[in-house]
Amino acid sequence: MRFHKEGWPSLALVLAYWICCALLAHGFFSNSALAIGLAHTSGAFFTLVIVQFFRHPKRIHNLHANAIIAPADGTIVVIENTHEPEYFKDMRLQISIFMSPLNVHVNRYPISGTVEYVKYHAGKYLIASHPKSSTENERTTIVVSDAAGRSVLFRQIAGALARRIVYYCKTGDTAQQAQQMGFIKFGSRVDVFLPITAKVKVVQGQKVKGSQTILAEW
């Protein structure tokens, strides 16, 4: 199990908190085992939370040229045909994955190809399950097209707790299916927009793993 690079600032912050609490407890409450215990317990607790949140497990990636894989860990909360207004501007099959704070938050490319579009949008921090979070929350939209001309749009969406969306791609980059392309801090969701003709391989409420679960096939 590795620790993701995006977590180092947060880990430094909680370790500083732990040290400060410990110094205060030992300096001002040196005769109170309770105060000292609370200082160390709270510091250890927040450190463990950060370590588990930013964990980056090693995974074996089986590439699927005829499939779209899950770009994130989480739970399928939406499977529906809907109008995609930003890039395709037509009806698309939407599959949405909700990421709780307990999920691995690494985001990956669902297909291989060329990055055709990257757009960051500032926005609100509605609960990620809110219907309007896909269009009103802080988000990043990315489109990848494969060698056959088939395109997938996926959108990183901030939630009520998520305050930073990280993406590592730009227009023109070569995308490799299952390769890491970003990270969302502290819970949110990822929307994937596919052609209406795509064959769905998941069901609503299903737990999925990024780079492991097949969402749909062409």
Examine the domain organization and report whether 165 and 90 are in the same domain.
yes
Q: Confirm if 94 and 192 have CB atoms less than 8 A apart.
A: yes
Q: Which of 70, 130, 63 is nearest to 95 (CA)?
A: 70
- Please tell me whether residue 13 adopts helix, strand or coil conformation: helix
The tokens describing 15, both together, are 């370790």
CB atoms within 10 A of CB 190: 27
Q: Would you give the DSSP letter of residue 173?
A: P
Examine the domain organization and report whether 73 and 46 are in the same domain.
no
Looking at the domain assignment, is residue 200 inside a domain? yes
Looking at the domain assignment, is residue 39 inside a domain? yes
Full residue range of the structural domain in which residue 140 is found: 67-217
Half-sphere exposure of residue 183: CA atoms within 13 angstroms, side-chain side: 13
Looking at the domain assignment, is residue 12 inside a domain? yes
Say how far apart CA 172 and CA 82 lie, in whole Å. Answer: 27
The tokens describing 23, both together, are 């110094």
How many angstroms separate the Cα of 207 from the Cα of each of 7, 66, 74, 106, 142? 24, 22, 6, 16, 23
Examine the domain organization and report whether 103 and 161 are in the same domain.
yes
Examine the domain organization and report whether 50 and 86 are in the same domain.
no
Q: What is the pLDDT of residues 42-94, one digit of tens each?
A: 989 989 888 877 777 888 887 888 999 999 999 999 999 999 999 999 999 99
Run means of pLDDT, 10 residues per run, the chain, 218 residues: 80 90 86 86 88 80 89 94 95 94 88 96 66 71 95 87 78 95 82 96 96 95
Q: Which of 148, 155, 137 is nearest to 191 (CA)?
A: 155
Query: Which residues are tagged catalytic?
Result: 188
Among candidate residues 14, 33, 56, the one where a domain is terminated: 56
Looking at the domain assignment, is residue 61 inside a domain? no
- Please tell me whether residue 25 adopts helix, strand or coil conformation: helix
Examine the domain organization and report whether 37 and 10 are in the same domain.
yes
pLDDT value of residue 79: 96
Examine the domain organization and report whether 77 and 98 are in the same domain.
yes
Examine the domain organization and report whether 52 and 109 are in the same domain.
no
Looking at the domain assignment, is residue 180 inside a domain? yes
What's the structural domain count of the chain?
Answer: 2
Q: Read off the CATH number of the domain in which 84 is found.
A: 2.70.70.10
Examine the domain organization and report whether 52 and 112 are in the same domain.
no
Q: Confirm if 53 and 186 have CB atoms less than 8 A apart.
A: yes
Residues 6+ apart with CB under 8 A from 107: 71, 72, 156, 167, 180, 181, 182, 183, 184, 190, 210
Examine the domain organization and report whether 88 and 175 are in the same domain.
yes
Examine the domain organization and report whether 118 and 213 are in the same domain.
yes
Say how far apart CA 137 and CA 43 lie, in whole Å. Answer: 32
Looking at the domain assignment, is residue 172 inside a domain? yes
Say how far apart CA 40 and CA 26 lie, in whole Å. Answer: 10
